[in-house]
């Protein structure tokens, strides 16, 4: 079962304060018009997001599109940590997971606007849970998801989240300290050979994150860097 988060608790205040404190910094980032990884290109225009994916040279480009009408939480697609996550998610779903996409389950930790969970749904994932400790983010994601995508959104804290299941993929675009402090929980929620895609990590602390995941049985399989940020894909061994 889910353990819902009490908005009156101290942790809720901390999470909301964190969002408020970094909101101006995130909005000040000047985005690239198009972010391109090896196989995926991310396009952002207004509230519209497009992911172009090409598996190999001479293969047709697959385009996934969706919109985010509500963006009063982190995750509008314009920050490096978000568009790297989107690219790594597309690559992992297309080249990493061997199961049929209809059978894949995904968890989005600290969902914000719901952008990563929604992107996964648009790419075909049918079993998605997403949560955020911030009431503001929870309401924003719920509005973006409502009635359109197979995503269960809850307001919960990572320390108390207990879904009673494990996932093939976890996405977690969080601040570095939160990721390092919770690698044990993230690893425990992964199925064997499952993937955890993390971002929000400053380059200077990349090795700390790699070591933390390695300590909990997850090895680095893929990575990207942009504008001083690191994002990685870790696989549970």
Q: Residue 60 to residues 90, 97, 124: CA-CA distances in angstroms?
A: 15, 20, 18
In a domain, 139, yes or no: yes
Rounded Cα distance between 115 and 222, Å, is 21
In a domain, 1, yes or no: no
Rounded Cα distance between 152 and 146, Å, is 9
Rounded Cα distance between 78 and 112, Å, is 13
In a domain, 31, yes or no: yes
What is the tally of structural domains in the chain?
Answer: 1
pTM of the predicted structure, to 2 decimals: 0.85
**Which strands form 151-155's sheet, in the order they lie side by side?**
151-155, 127-132, 105-109, 167-173, 190-202, 229-236, 218-226
Residue 115 tokens read as 């952008």
Q: Please answer whether residues 234 and 198 qualify as being in contact, where contact means their C-beta atoms are separated by less than 8 angstroms.
A: yes
CATH number of the CATH domain containing 54: 3.40.50.150
In a domain, 4, yes or no: no
In a domain, 87, yes or no: yes
Domain that holds residue 170: 10-236
Q: Please answer whether residues 117 and 131 qualify as being in contact, where contact means their C-beta atoms are separated by less than 8 angstroms.
A: no
Rounded Cα distance between 178 and 74, Å, is 16
Residue 18's pLDDT is 36
DSSP for 68-125 reads -S--SSS-SS-SHHHHHHHHHHHHIIIII--S-GGG-EEEEES-TTSHHHHHHHHTT-
In a domain, 180, yes or no: yes
Q: Please answer whether residues 235 and 210 qualify as being in contact, where contact means their C-beta atoms are separated by less than 8 angstroms.
A: no
In a domain, 150, yes or no: yes
46: left (phi over 0), alpha (psi -120 to 50) or beta: left
pLDDT tens string, the chain, 237 residues long: the values are: 333 333 333 333 333 333 344 334 334 333 444 566 778 999 998 899 999 998 887 889 999 999 999 998 999 888 999 999 999 999 999 999 888 998 999 999 999 999 999 999 999 999 999 999 999 999 999 999 999 999 999 999 999 999 999 999 999 999 999 999 999 999 999 999 999 999 999 999 999 999 999 999 999 999 999 999 999 999 999
């Amino acid at each position: 079962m889910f353990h819902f988060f009490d908005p009156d608790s101290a942790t809720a205040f901390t999470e909301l304060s964190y969002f408020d404190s970094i909101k101006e910094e995130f909005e000040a980032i000047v985005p690239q018009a198009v972010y391109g990884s090896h196989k995926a290109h991310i396009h952002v225009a207004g509230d519209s997001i497009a992911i172009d994916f090409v598996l190999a040279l001479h293969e047709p480009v697959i385009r996934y599109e969706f919109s985010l009408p509500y963006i009063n939480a982190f995750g509008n697609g314009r920050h490096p940590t978000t568009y790297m996550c989107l690219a790594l998610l597309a690559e992992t779903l297309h080249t990493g997971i061997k199961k049929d996409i209809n059978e894949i389950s995904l968890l989005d930790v600290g969902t914000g606007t719901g952008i990563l969970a929604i992107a996964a749904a648009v790419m075909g994932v049918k079993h998605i849970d997403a949560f955020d400790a911030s009431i503001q983010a929870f309401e924003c994601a719920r509005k973006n998801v409502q009635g359109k995508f197979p995503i269960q959104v809850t307001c919960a804290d990572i320390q108390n989240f207990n879904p009673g299941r494990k996932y093939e993929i976890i996405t977690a675009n969080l601040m570095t300290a939160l990721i390092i402090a919770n690698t044990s929980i993230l690893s425990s929620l992964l199925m064997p050979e499952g993937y955890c895609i993390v971002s929000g990590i400053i380059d200077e602390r990349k090795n700390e994150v790699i070591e933390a995941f390695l300590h909990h049985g997850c090895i680095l399989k893929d990575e990207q860097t942009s504008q001083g940020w690191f994002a990685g894909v870790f696989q549970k061994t």
